Structure 1
Amino acid sequence: MTLTMKREPEVRTGTTESATTTGRKRRRASHQRQGWVAHVFLLPWMLGMVAVTAGPLIASAVLAFTDYDLLTAPSFIGFDNFTRMMGDERFWASARVTGLYVLVSVPLQLAFALFLAVILDKGIRGLSLYRSAFYLPSLLGGSVAIAILWRQLFGDAGLINTVLGFFGIEADSWLQNPATAPWTLIILNVWTFGSPMVIFLAGLRQVPDELLEAAEVDGAGRMRRFWSITIPLLTPIIFLNLILQMISAFQAFTQAHVVSGGTGGPLDSTLFYTLYIYQEGFVNFDMGYAAAMAWVLLIVIAIATAGNFILSRRWVHYGDE
């Protein structure tokens, strides 16, 4: 009887290691190719970032310390542009107008946006139509056409005075009175409530119905549920809208430029800070001074944003807290 022994297959260690090494090299090469493809697609953005954002930003920082009139070579003058601001009455006037605009129009805009978002959150018929119609002012509010329309509405013979005339109220041009001119721009900014309203509406959809129903069972009324449950859960959305609209208000330009004809009048009552930067840089050709003012605006926005983040720890409540 012959016993046949099964022969175990030989393990070729060298071949296995070679195949593993080859596989690693292929994967590494594939990852490198994917990395190059990603860099190629990112290249336009990188070029735009350097040419459109980073380059001008560095150039303006340098020009802020120079005397530059766009026609001759800039000359270094140190901190003279910044010390000049301290005695510039129009600089302080533009700062006051912009401060009033930010402090009044942003809270009013957010309050109005939240009010309409709460109404639309009730699930009324034709919600998509209303949402689109209310969002439209946010798209058009910063345009030249709307600014021209606003100038006609609040003019001496505009629609506002025509309506008031039916009730026996006579009024002069709202835009020619220094006491009322800035308020027309504030109303225009409040009118562009569509963008924060849509964000508020999305936030309201995230409020758990269970909490509202439990509070209702406990006897809490509609207003009590709104202030004790909806608002605390909505504070992150309120904070987001506050930051976005505050930065936008600091940078407002088109409305004041068109409504005042580029002068900031009457008596600098509509002289936004950005409008004054434009006047100094492109009307008076004092680009060094304009660059210095632009950096002051950047610092103010940064400080205001940082301050809001610090204060948000006291009133903004997140779900994981």
Structure 2
Amino acid sequence: MSTVVSAAQLSARRRLSNRRETVAALLFISPWILGFLIFTVWPVIYSGYLSFTDYDVINDPNFVGLENYVTMFEDPRIALSLTNTLIYTILSVPAHIIVALALAMLLLRAARASGFFRTVFFLPKMTPAVAVGVLFLLLFNGQDGLINKMLRAIGLPAPYWTTDPFWVKPGLVLISLWAMGSSIVILLAALKNVPVELYESARIDGANLWQQTTRITVPMISSTIFFLVIINTIAGFQMFTEAYTAFFGSGNTTYSNDAALFFVIYLFQQGFEFLNMGYASAMAWLLFLVITIFTVVQFVVSRRLVYYEGDQR
């Protein structure tokens, strides 16, 4: 009987100890919880309410029902900005992954020098996005930009990156590669976890570098690549600072603004330039829906393409 009582007491003490640890943990993270609720959850909920109102920041919100959402389907610049954003995302995500993977594979072979080059590749990530937007105008100037000078020097045509609508988005994709250091570091860590024995066996079987990359490297790090695809897709749909700085921030109308009108830029204009905060809130929820749909589709497709360690399929 005493054994039963002592076991019950021990169980009660453990529950009490676990409860105290839980309370202590919640107290430690309570500043973050409060910040998350106040600065993230509440603004999201309130923006949902504002999306059904006519609100100009100065006057009280006026409930208008679905009017903002109906207006979005009739607004041609919504379609334009969404198309620009989609094209940019489709161009930027593969370019980002391919270039980052190529550089990570080179770093893997750099041995002792990899630490230095890893730092060099990551440093541009610390560059403010506004500075990158200004850098875009300097490097990709159609007349005397450094990129066009290099292209002319080797006999290639030099596009007008900032004025030709066809080349605006490819130019922004190229400048976005400036700050992909974090992706390089993540891919490098994934590459180091690929078993060396797989490459040794492949070389014995006569596999060349391309076959080793496509049959071993990419499948073994597919989960990391998938993570970067998701993150960069979301970042692509939220493209704002570089394009706004280069094409809208200075108020210069000589550049091809329509080709660089991304969805978040148009959202910003509606909310903070035209003070159509209710309409901007509806646009934000539309963007959230679009990103959610693309993310869900990517997760569904990944079930057949992504390998996870320990996966028995």
TM over 0.5: yes
Q: Partner residue of 1:252? A: 239
TM-fit CA distance, 1:149? 1.8
4+ residue stretches of structure 1 with deviation over 6 A? 16-25, 167-170
**In the superposition, relative to structure 1, how do residues 315 and 27 fare at CA in structure 2: closer, same or farther (>3 Å)?**
closer
1:65 equivalent to 2:52? Answer yes
1:187 to 2:174 alignment: yes
Alignment of 1:25-44 (within 5 A): 29-44=16-31
* Structure 1 counterpart of 2:272: 282
Asked if 1:152 is matched to 2:138, the reply is yes
1:72 is displaced (CA, Å) by 0.8
In the alignment, structure 1 residue 85 sits paired with structure 2 residue 68: no
Please say if 1:312 is aligned against 2:302.
Answer: yes
Aligned to 1:4: none
Number of equivalent positions: 307
Q: 2:41, 2:155 → 1: CA distance?
A: 57
Query: Aligned partners of 2:47, 2:193: CA distance in 1, in Å?
Result: 43
Relative to structure 1, is the Cα distance of residues 39 and 87 closer, same or farther in structure 2, using a 3 angstrom cutoff? same
1:18-65: CA deviations, max 9, x gaps? 988877766555444433322211210111111100000000000111
CA distance in 2, matches of 1:119, 1:171: 29
Q: Does 1:198 align with 2:188?
A: no
Residues of 1 paired with 2:23 and 2:70: CA distance? Answer: 49
Shift in alpha-carbon separation, 1:27–1:126, aligned structure 2, 3 A = same
Gap regions ≥5 residues in structure 2:
none
Give the aligned residue type for 1:213: E
Report the 3-state secondary structure (helix = DSSP H, G, I; strand = E; otherwise coil) of the residue aligned with 1:282. Answer: helix
What TM-score, normalized to structure 2?
Answer: 0.89
Aligned to 1:112: 99
Q: For 1:126, what is the secondary structure of its paired residue?
A: helix
**Paired letter, 1:293:** M
Question: What TM-score, normalized to structure 1?
Answer: 0.87
Given that residues 63 and 74 in structure 1 are in contact (C-alpha distance below 8 angstroms), is that contact kept between their aligned partners in structure 2? yes
Structure 1 spans left out of the alignment, 5+ residues: 1-12
SS at 1:69 equivalent:
coil
- SS of the residue corresponding to residue 133 of structure 1 reads helix
User: What residue identity is the alignment partner of 1:175?
Assistant: T
What's the offset of the Cα at 1:101? 0.6
Identity of paired residues, percent? Answer: 38
* Matched AA of 2:288: L
The question of whether the paired residues in 1 share the 8 Å contact of 2:104 and 2:185 is answered with yes
Structure exhibiting the larger radius of gyration computed from Cα positions: 1
- Per-residue deviation, residues 60-111 of structure 1 (Å, max 9, x unmatched): 0001111111111111111111111112111111111101110001101100
* Structure (1/2) with the larger helix percentage: 2
